[in-house]
Homo-oligomer: A and B are copies of this chain.
Amino acid sequence: MTPAVRVLAFDIFGTTVDWYTGVARQAADVFGHLGVQLDAGTFTSEWRAKYLPSMARVRRHERDWAYLDTLHRESLDELLLEHGVDDSVDEASRQRLVDAWHRLPAWDDSVAGLRRLREHHVLAALSNGGFALMTNLVKAADLPFDCILSAELAHAYKPDARVYRTAAGLLDVRPDEVLMVAAHGWDLEGAAAAGLRTAFVERPREKGPDRQADRAADVKADLHATDFLDLAGKLGV
């Protein structure tokens, strides 16, 4: 790969942390406490399924830019109505559910892989999560990033090119000196369109036991890796 990659930008939800397990566990707690009969795993999948459409409305300028927390809350309210449990989930519980996305477990290889990569590159978290959400999540999971970047800084959402270009601009590098690392084809397509390099990391358990995560064979990227340690090896560090 030439020119040299100077910055590695990591997607977070699904790529660096396990949102499915983390949110499902916290949702099971909340529902158990309230006596609400909802399967936490199914609920988590359905909630996440509303994520891309909710951001797409921002990208298509059908609404103003809004925090991911706001989008999560709106889709949570919708989902609770759809399941007929709107009356059973109080305000504090809804807040706890939205906050579940602020505290998620890292994949087993994430910390060790990032630590190895950080000796050779600048590592940035580049997520659609807001700056505060991302700072709290990275701190709680003890992820060794050099800086937090967020779609919030561009007031846009990935895969909008402005998110990737704002990240490169803030780090004072050219887009093709940034390698975007993600477990999602749509994110890497957006990054490539903005002029970044791309690395796909396969996270087969990302969507839980019953849904198919993006597969290496289906995703076009400059590099493919099985986890962050494999990525370090493929980058020769």
Partner among B131, B171, B173 whose Cβ is within 8 Å of the Cβ of A147: B131
CB distance from A34 to the nearest CB of B (A): 26
A138 touches B131 (CB 8 A): no
CB distance from A136 to the nearest CB of B (A): 7
CB distance from A4 to the nearest CB of B (A): 16
List of B residues within 8 angstroms of A122 by Cβ: 135-136, 139
CA distance A201 to B147 in the complex (A): 25
List of B residues within 8 angstroms of A173 by Cβ: 132
List of B residues within 8 angstroms of A146 by Cβ: 135, 138-139, 148
CB distance from A99 to the nearest CB of B (A): 11
Partner among B132, B139, B153, B170 whose Cβ is within 8 Å of the Cβ of A172: B132
* Oligomer: number of copies: 2
In the assembled complex, A152 has its CB within 8 A of some CB on chain B: yes
CA distance A174 to B78 in the complex (A): 30
Partner among B131, B138, B147, B170 whose Cβ is within 8 Å of the Cβ of A170: B131
CA distance A171 to B137 in the complex (A): 12
CA distance A173 to B133 in the complex (A): 12
CA distance A172 to B132 in the complex (A): 6
Q: Which residue of chain B has its CB nearest to the CB of A138?
A: B146
CA distance A147 to B149 in the complex (A): 9
CA distance A122 to B171 in the complex (A): 22
CA distance A131 to B130 in the complex (A): 17
List of B residues within 8 angstroms of A172 by Cβ: 130-133
CA distance A147 to B136 in the complex (A): 10
Partner among B135, B153, B170 whose Cβ is within 8 Å of the Cβ of A132: B170
CA distance A137 to B170 in the complex (A): 14
A171 touches B139 (CB 8 A): no
List of B residues within 8 angstroms of A131 by Cβ: 147, 170-172
| Interface mask (A24-53 → B, CB under 8 Å = 1, otherwise 0) | 000000000000000000000000000000
A135 touches B147 (CB 8 A): yes
| Interface mask (A181-195 → B, CB under 8 Å = 1, otherwise 0) | 000000000000000
CA distance A46 to B146 in the complex (A): 32
Complex interface residues of chain A between 128 and 160 (CB less than 8 A to chain B): 130-133, 135-136, 138-139, 146-148, 152-153
CA distance A171 to B132 in the complex (A): 4
List of B residues within 8 angstroms of A170 by Cβ: 131-132, 152
